[in-house]
C-alpha cells in the first residue's frame, strides 16, 4: 500500500483539475488523436488515388482507434527499444491493424501527428475554458445586479475614497473577464492546422508520393485538415508549426491569470474588512489552532495558481526564440509540461472562481458601519456648499470644519474612538443653519453617483452580447463541486 504514495503526483491532477480537462491531456486522448490523424491521412491519400491503401486497411484503422491496455504496453516496449515515441505508436497501431501496417504514416514526419494532434487538443481545451469562463462571467454579473445599489466605501491606494457600490465594483472584475473571453475566443478562432508538410515543411515527400502532382498535394493538405475539423491551414511551416502560436496561446492564458489574481486579491482584502467573504462550508476548518478563523482559502488558491499560470508564458517565449531554422528538439520536453499545465491551471482557477462567485457572502451592516466612520470627512465639501447656500462665508466655513475634522480624526487615530465629526458639527453654533439638513447630506446613496445605472448599462451593452454565443451552456447551469 505504501508504494503508491512513494511517487510524485502533480497536484494539478491529483487535487484540483476537472475530469474533463484531465482527460483531454491524457495519454489516451493524445494517442487516440495520433491514430485518428493517421486514419485521416490514409483516407485522403486513398481518395487521391493511392492504390496501396485498401478499404480493408481503412476499416481496420477505424476499428482500432481507441487504445487498449495491450496497445500501451506494446508502445512502451517499442519506445524503450527505439527511443522514438511516434515510431513506437506506429508499430503498436500496425500490430492491431495489420492490413494497414505498411501504409500508416505514409509520407509523414513525426510532427504530422505530434503538432497536428496538439492543435486539435488545444482547440478542444480552449472550448472547455470558454464554457467555464462564460459561467463565471454570468455568476459575477448576477452578483453585480443584485448589489448594484448597495453603497460601499471605495478605495484608492487601499485608502478610503469616494463611495461606490458593491455591484459597481464587481463590474470592474467582470470587465477584465470579458476581455479574457474575447482573447480566448480569438485564440480559438485564429488557431490553424499544420497539415501535411513533411520533414522541413516543403511537402517534398508528398510531392514524390504523387509523382510531382502539385495540385494533389494541395488537395491532400486541405482534405486532411477538413477531416480533422479545421478550415484554416498554416500555408508555410518548418518541421513544426511556428512556436509563436504557443506564445500567443500562453500569453492569453497568462493574461487571464492576472485577472483572476486581481479578483481573488480584492475578495481577500474585503474578507479582512469583514465586508464580503467567499463561501465557507458548515464543517470547514479555517485553522488547526485558531478555531474562529474563516480563511479565504479558495481565493488564496486562485492567487497561488494564477501566479503559476502567469509565468508559463515565459516558457513559450523562450522556446520560440531558440527554434533554429526549421526546428530543434529542445521544444518538445518543455511543451509537454508548459502547455498542459497552462490549460489545467486555467481550468482549476475557473472552477474556483465559479465556486466563489456562486456563494459570495455580503455583510451590509459591516459595510454601512465602515461608511459611517469615513463619510463625515467625505461630506465636508457638501456641508460647506450647504452653508454657503444659507449665506455663510466659504473661507470661514472651511476653517471651522477643518478644525473640527482634525479634532475628530484625533479621536479616531489617537484614542481608537468612533468618528464624531457630525456630533461636533451639531454642537457648533456656527453650523446651526444646516443642522436639520445633516441627515440628508450624509445619505450614502447621494455619494454613489451613477453606479446603479452604470451596472445596468454595462450588463446590457457589454455582458449580454458577449454571453449570447454561450446561451446554451449557461442554460445548463452546471454547478462546481470542489474536491478539496
Q: Which whole number is the average pLDDT over 85-104?
A: 97
* Strand spans (E) along 306-439: 361-362
Nearest Cα to Cα of residue 471 among 209, 130, 184, 200: 130
Nearest Cα to Cα of residue 442 among 377, 353, 356, 346: 377
**Beta-ladder partners of 145:** none
Nearest Cα to Cα of residue 45 among 196, 256, 230: 196
Whether 177 and 133 have beta carbons less than 8 Å apart is answered as: yes
Three-class SS of residue 416? coil
Q: Which of 2-16, 218-232, 450-464 has the lowest mean pLDDT?
A: 2-16
Residue ranges of domains in the chain: 19-106, 111-140+163-281+291-362, 367-447
Q: Is 287 part of the annotated catalytic residue set?
A: yes
The catalytic position among 10, 52, 98, 287 is 287
Q: Which whole number is the average pLDDT over 183-212?
A: 97
Instruction: Using the structure block, give the residue that is written with the C-alpha cell 520536453.
Output: 333
Does the domain made of 367-447 have the CATH classification 3.40.50.1100?
no
427 pLDDT above the threshold of 50: yes
If you write DSSP's letter for every residue of 296-319 in order, what string do you get?
-HHHHHHHHHHHHHHHHHHHHHHH
Using pLDDT thresholds of 50, 70 and 90, give the confidence band for residue 440. Answer: confident
Q: Pull the grid cell for residue 457.
A: 448599462
Using pLDDT thresholds of 50, 70 and 90, give the confidence band for residue 14. Answer: confident
288 pLDDT above the threshold of 50: no
Does the domain made of 111-140+163-281+291-362 have the CATH classification 3.20.190.10?
no
Does the domain made of 19-106 have the CATH classification 3.40.710.10?
no
**Beta-ladder partners of 159:** 156
Give the distance from CA 398 to its chain's centroid. Answer: 50
Whether 202 and 196 have beta carbons less than 8 Å apart is answered as: no
Say if strands 151-156 and 159-165 run parallel, antiparallel, or are unpaired: antiparallel
pLDDT: which is higher, 52 or 283: 52
Q: Is 157 part of the annotated catalytic residue set?
A: yes
DSSP state of 448: S
Quick: pLDDT tens for 312-352.
Answer: 999 999 999 999 999 999 999 999 999 999 999 999 999 99
Using pLDDT thresholds of 50, 70 and 90, give the confidence band for residue 482. Answer: low
- Rounded distance between C-alpha atoms, residue 435 and residue 440, angstroms: 10
Amino acid at each position: 500500500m505504501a508504494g503508491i504514495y512513494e511517487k510524485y503526483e502533480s497536484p494539478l491532477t491529483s487535487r484540483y483539475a476537472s475530469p474533463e480537462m484531465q482527460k483531454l491531456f491524457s495519454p489516451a486522448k493524445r494517442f487516440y488523436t495520433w491514430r485518428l490523424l493517421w486514419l485521416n491521412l490514409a483516407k485522403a491519400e486513398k481518395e487521391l488515388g493511392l492504390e496501396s491503401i485498401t478499404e480493408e486497411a481503412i476499416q481496420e484503422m477505424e476499428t482500432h482507434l481507441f487504445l487498449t491496455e495491450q496497445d500501451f504496453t506494446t508502445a512502451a516496449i517499442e519506445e524503450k527499444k527505439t527511443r522514438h515515441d511516434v515510431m513506437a505508436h506506429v508499430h503498436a497501431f500496425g500490430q492491431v491493424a495489420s492490413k494497414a501496417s505498411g501504409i500508416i504514416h505514409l509520407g509523414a514526419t513525426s510532427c504530422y501527428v505530434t503538432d497536428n494532434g496538439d492543435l486539435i487538443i488545444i482547440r478542444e481545451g480552449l472550448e472547455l475554458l470558454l464554457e467555464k469562463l462564460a459561467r463565471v462571467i454570468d455568476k459575477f454579473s448576477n452578483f453585480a445586479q443584485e448589489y448594484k445599489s448597495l453603497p460601499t466605501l471605495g478605495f484608492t491606494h487601499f485608502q478610503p475614497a469616494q463611495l461606490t457600490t458593491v455591484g459597481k465594483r464587481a463590474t470592474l472584475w467582470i470587465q477584465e473577464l470579458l476581455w479574457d473571453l474575447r482573447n480566448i475566443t480569438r485564440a480559438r478562432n485564429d488557431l490553424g492546422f499544420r497539415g501535411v508538410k513533411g520533414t522541413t515543411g516543403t511537402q517534398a515527400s508528398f510531392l514524390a508520393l504523387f509523382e510531382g502532382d502539385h495540385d494533389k498535394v494541395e488537395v491532400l493538405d486541405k482534405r486532411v485538415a477538413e477531416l480533422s475539423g479545421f478550415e484554416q491551414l498554416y500555408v508555410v511551416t518548418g518541421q513544426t508549426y511556428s512556436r509563436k502560436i504557443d506564445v500567443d496561446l500562453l500569453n492569453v492564458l497568462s493574461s487571464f491569470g492576472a485577472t483572476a489574481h486581481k479578483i481573488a486579491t480584492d475578495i481577500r482584502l474585503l474578507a479582512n474588512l469583514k465586508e464580503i467573504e467567499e463561501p465557507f462550508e458548515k464543517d470547514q476548518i479555517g485553522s488547526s489552532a485558531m478555531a474562529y478563523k474563516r480563511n479565504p482559502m479558495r481565493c488564496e488558491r486562485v492567487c497561488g495558481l494564477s501566479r503559476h499560470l502567469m509565468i508559463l508564458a515565459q516558457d513559450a517565449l523562450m522556446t520560440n526564440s531558440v527554434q533554429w531554422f526549421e526546428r530543434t528538439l529542445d521544444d518538445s520536453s518543455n511543451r509537454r509540461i508548459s502547455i498542459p499545465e497552462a490549460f489545467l491551471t486555467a481550468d482549476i482557477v475557473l472552477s474556483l472562481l465559479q465556486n466563489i462567485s456562486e456563494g459570495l457572502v455580503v455583510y451590509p451592516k459591516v459595510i454601512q458601519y465602515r461608511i459611517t466612520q469615513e463619510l463625515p470627512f467625505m461630506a465636508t465639501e457638501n456641508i460647506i456648499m450647504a452653508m454657503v447656500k444659507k449665506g455663510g462665508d466659504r473661507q470661514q466655513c472651511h476653517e471651522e470644519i477643518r478644525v473640527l475634522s482634525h479634532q475628530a480624526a484625533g479621536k479616531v487615530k489617537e484614542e481608537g474612538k468612533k468618528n464624531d465629526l457630525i456630533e461636533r458639527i451639531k454642537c457648533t453654533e456656527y453650523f446651526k443653519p444646516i443642522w436639520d439638513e445633516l441627515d440628508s447630506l450624509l445619505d450614502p446613496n447621494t455619494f454613489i453617483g451613477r453606479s446603479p445605472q452604470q451596472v445596468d448599462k454595462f450588463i446590457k451593452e457589454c455582458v449580454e452580447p458577449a454571453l449570447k454565443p454561450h446561451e446554451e451552456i449557461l442554460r445548463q447551469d452546471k454547478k462546481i463541486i470542489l474536491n478539496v
